[in-house]
Amino acid sequence: MIRLPPPVPAEAVLDLLIPGADVIVPLANGEPTSILDAIEAAADQLEGVRIHQMHALRDRPYLHGVYGDRLRHVSYFLSHITRPAYWEGTIDLVPNHFSEVPTLLRRSTRCTVVIAACSPPDQHGYFSLGTNADYVVDLIGRVPIFLEATPHMPRTRGANLVHHSQVEGWCESDRPLIEVPRSEPNDVDRAIASLVAERIPDRASVQIGIGSIASAVLDSLGGHRDLGIHTELLHDGMVDLVEAGVVTGAYKEVRRNRVVTTFCLGTRRLYDWLEDNAVVELLGVDFVNDPRVIARMRRFNSVNATTEVDLMGQCASETIGGRYWSSSGGQADFARGAMYAEEGQAFIVTPSLTRAGDSRIVASLTAGSVVTTLKNTVDHVVTEHGVAELRGRSLADRARALIAVADPSARDDLNRAARRLGLFV
């Protein structure tokens, strides 16, 4: 008979917050809302506490500097919630590759305590971190952990289980999970997706990002067979492919017959589907996104979006108009892994024009924009006008291929710019 320690008030976490504490919080729905409520309520008693988190989805006063240096947020990926706060200067942003965040946290912070949302404990005394594994699972058993159990969190399998003996304390809440419906594709998205899907072979393992082009790519894969999923983010569109038998994982070299991810974000349908689903494994991001792991999978295909590509093939995927918008995430992780995989392919996708009608294929990146995926790593750039194959090509040939997939209205200017830059004569 397992004797669980009883739940305690969320305020009990305050006993762990020493001056200068570094508090690690999972991304998205892994955030324990009641615990953070308690921390904010006691902010006047805190001293130099930092909350480290990627992609926060709930707005909070401390994000806007209400508590000054007593309680401050450190982001590793900006969301629509934290982006304005970063622009206001009330939070910090640490550049990173997603695969390396666990190492960054261990080396650059005290890792004072992990606080996380979870499912209620099972009969064996284990809590599940549900939708998340991300950078937190690497700290289980090594760092004090305080949990918030909610019945809305699905119990999932993988490396994200925490035994009650590893928990400093746990509380309960009835908070719902945030739902993020899929982005509906338009005709441009579907044109891009068709060009990508026809190049992905049967039996490939895939990583596909989020957004309307990603939704269209998943829709376009319905006629494929025996695909495998090894992705940082699992969302609703992937459920459709599993249920249709398109995804089996039978030919994966890593975690065969399993859908592998490091976090999940979607609608209630996804969260219900995850409940005790043995085919899904939630594993740490330092495994899932490790290019060396990805490279072990034959025919690995990654699909990720960008906002701007210059004529050398450099992709700026985390800034818009020279202003920070998100962060690197796992784009470079998967592009590098696909580069090393036998018969691997990496696709960078983007509409040829912005909503304002400006070309996303540019002579030089906008001032203030940063390179997310290096020119030496970029493989294919896909717009609705075609596929620019860049790997192994000269700078002149790269420029010509990219101009060919730019919007026709931009091509003359791009040709003139390429000559001015000395890319070709």
The C-alpha atoms of residue 135 and residue 26 are separated, in whole angstroms, by: 7
- Does 322 fall in a domain? yes
Is the residue at 402 inside a domain? yes
DSSP state of 184: P
pLDDT, one tens digit per residue, over 139-181 is 999 999 999 999 999 999 999 999 999 999 999 999 999 999 9
pTM above 0.95, yes or no: yes
Both structure tokens of 48: 């130099």
Both 168 and 191 in one domain: the answer is no
Same domain, 273 and 380: yes
Question: Would 4 be classed as within a structural domain?
Answer: no
Residue 412: count other Cβ atoms within 10 Å of its Cβ. 10
Residue with tokens 């093939």: 313
The answer to whether 314 and 365 are in contact (CB under 8 A) is yes
pLDDT per residue rounded down to tens, the chain (425 residues): 688 899 999 999 999 999 999 999 999 999 999 999 999 999 999 999 999 999 999 999 999 999 999 999 999 999 999 999 999 999 999 999 999 999 999 999 999 999 999 999 999 999 999 999 999 999 999 999 999 999 999 999 999 999 999 999 999 999 999 999 999 999 999 999 999 999 999 999 999 999 999 999 999 999 999 999 999 999 999 999 999 999 999 999 999 999 999 999 999 999 999 999 999 999 999 999 999 999 999 999 999 999 999 999 999 999 999 999 999 999 999 999 999 999 999 999 999 999 999 999 999 999 999 999 999 999 999 999 999 999 999 999 999 999 999 999 999 999 999 999 999 97
Contact 159, 124 (CB under 8 A): no
Overall residue count recorded for the chain in this entry:
425
- Give residue 353's domain range: 187-421
What mean pLDDT value characterizes the chain?
97
Indicate whether 228 and 366 sit together in one domain.
yes
Residue 178 belongs to some domain of the structure: no
Question: Is 125 domain-assigned?
Answer: yes
User: How many domains does the chain contain in total?
Assistant: 2
Phi, psi of 424 (to 5 degrees): -155, 165
d(Cα 79, Cα 285) in Å, to the nearest integer? 19
List of E strands, 300-402? 300-305, 308-310, 315-316, 319-320, 323-324, 345-349, 361-362, 380-383, 386-389
Give CA–CA dist 222/197, Å, rounded.
10
Residues 147 and 205 in one domain: no
The burial of 19, by beta-carbon neighbours within 10 Å (0-12 exposed, 13-18 middle, 19 or more buried), is given as: exposed
Both tokens of 112, joined, read 């004072």
Q: Which of 137, 172, 207 is the last residue of a domain?
A: 172
Catalytic positions: 232
Indicate if 197 and 314 belong to the same structural domain: yes
- What pLDDT, in 10s, does the model give residues 291-339? 999 999 999 999 999 999 999 999 999 999 999 999 999 999 999 999 9
Pair (198, 234) in one structural domain? yes
Same domain assignment for residues 167 and 192: no
1 in any annotated domain: no
> Residue 298 maps to which CATH number?
3.40.1080.20
Closest among 122, 107, 116 to 155, alpha carbons compared:
122
Residue 114 lies in a domain: yes
Mark whether 112 and 193 lie in a shared domain. Answer: no
Together in a domain, 162 and 200: no
Q: Are 113 and 249 part of one and the same domain?
A: no
CA–CA separation, 403 and 399 (whole Å):
6
Question: Distance between CA atoms of 364 and 309, rounded to whole angstroms?
Answer: 8
Which CATH number belongs to the domain containing residue 98 in this structure?
3.40.1080.10
The Cα–Cα gap between 120 and 4 comes to 11
Q: From CA 66, how far away is CA 46, in angstroms rounded?
A: 13
Residue ending a domain, choose from 172, 195, 229: 172
**78: in domain:** yes
Structure tokens at 368: 């203030």
Q: 226 and 117: one domain? A: no
3-state secondary structure at position 18: coil
CA-to-CA distance for 150 and 153, rounded, in angstroms? 6
In this structure, the dihedral spanned by the alpha carbons of residues 289, 291, 295 and 300, taken in order and rounded to 10 degrees, is: 50
